[in-house]
Amino acid sequence: MAKHYQILTIGGGTAGIMASSLLKKKNPSLQIGIIEPADTHYYQPAWTLVGANTYDFDKTAKPMAELIPEGTDWIKEYADKFEPESNKVITKEGNEFTYDYLIVAPGIKIAPELVEGLQEAMDKGAVCSNYTDPKHTWETLKNFKGGTALFTQPATPIKCGGAPQKIMYLADDYFKKSGVRGKTDILFALPGGSIFGVKVIADTLMDVVDRKDINVRFFHKLVKVDADKKIAWYEIEKDLSAGGCVTLADGDESQLDREIQYNYKDVKVTRDGDLFGIHFDMMHLAPPQSAPDFIRNSPLVDAAGWVSVDAKTMQHTKYPNIFSFGDASNLPTSKTGAAIRKQAPVAVYNILKMIEANSLSNKEYNGYTSCPLVTGYGKMVLAEFDYDKNFKPDPKLKQFPMMVGDSSKEHWRLWVLKKYILPHLYWTKMMKGIEV
């Protein structure tokens, strides 16, 4: 016999816990079940700082049992199959749960298998990632003796789009301290044509790139990693039919395509047909990411494999009693905890209104997200923007004294926000179902 809940939540991450806590706060009598197999809940935004040895990894973890809201049932199993026509979820263990309303918030899956050779290379030797093992990142930075330091990001959506470059700016600072920066070329290879999607922030970051003397290579799609030879292979995602070897100087920098190369450095690159292999002495990468397999194989997704929802209400486009937000949804914004901070309350108000009157509330999500872009030890820019990529500081954050001034520019006060205030807000407010 299937166990029934008024609200069934899939996922004990930021989205699932915040929404369940908020629902319980608004209506303590609700019967809520949370399907989550993990024992530990991590505050992942601090992993950037862990990778640069300026935050304690242990402080990013709490037992899941402490986060599950009081009065809800923790179902410590893996969700596996959806039967939305009969309001049912089946776990890997074969247990069935039915619901009046379903929240689908399982987060995102790290998918190194999408890049050839990456599974073998991940978190070993000179290949590191704050996304998977920030302690190994720090070991890699510490052991680096100079050469080519390559930082890269994949062509898939990822958690916190700014994270692949934050650690690069911190690494530059650390290499100066450790005395190896003078014999180091820092490269940032990315698939897009701009360093950030919001122009005012991109302008600030290009100033940082200039100051730190970093070579940016645009339109570079990572397709293969050769860990033994320390080569990262890229396709160039730009029409090269005009001829010429536009990404390599070959002794003549005047021939370079400036849309691909910014602040060119003559590091070793091997060409193999249409592939360009950048030789590295260390590489930090954001691995490719996707929705979890049980989501991608479900009837809930769009053609790209993300849960299909209305961009303003979080309601599923086909099943009105299903809501999804956070990293597994197809909301067209960055996948960050800051976005969830604004998404969860909208979904909660809509679910409560559905329970009460079978209609949606008047609350809508405008696409707000923020990306705290650390640009060095003690420096940060706060990119806050909406669906239209407008720079849009949140009035709630403006209440904090360190938010005085223009947050699109670097400031030490914003570093204080990142390192001390945001973790506090996360654990004591968001995870307790308090709107911030």
Would you name the residues annotated as active-site residues?
160, 371
Q: Which residues contact 83 (CB under 8 A, 6 or more apart)?
A: 89, 90
Give the whole-angstrom CA distance, residue 265 versus residue 43.
Answer: 36
Burial code (b: 16+ CB inside 10 Å, e: under 16) for 1-35 equals eeeebbbbbbbbbbbbbbbbbbbbeebeebebbbb
Handedness of CA 377, 381, 387, 392 (dihedral sign): positive
Residue 165 and residue 195 in contact, taking contact as beta carbons nearer than 8 Å: yes
Within 93-167, strands assigned E span: 96-104, 109-110, 127-128, 147-152
Residue 325 and residue 337 in contact, taking contact as beta carbons nearer than 8 Å: no
Nearest to 415, CA basis, from 43, 128, 48: 48
Burial of residue 143 (number of CB atoms within 10 Å: 0-12, 13-18, 19+): exposed
Nearest to 121, CA basis, from 148, 188, 129: 129
Give the whole-angstrom CA distance, residue 48 versus residue 135.
Answer: 10
- Rounded to 5°, the CA angle 166-392-289 comes to 40
Burial of residue 64 (number of CB atoms within 10 Å: 0-12, 13-18, 19+): buried
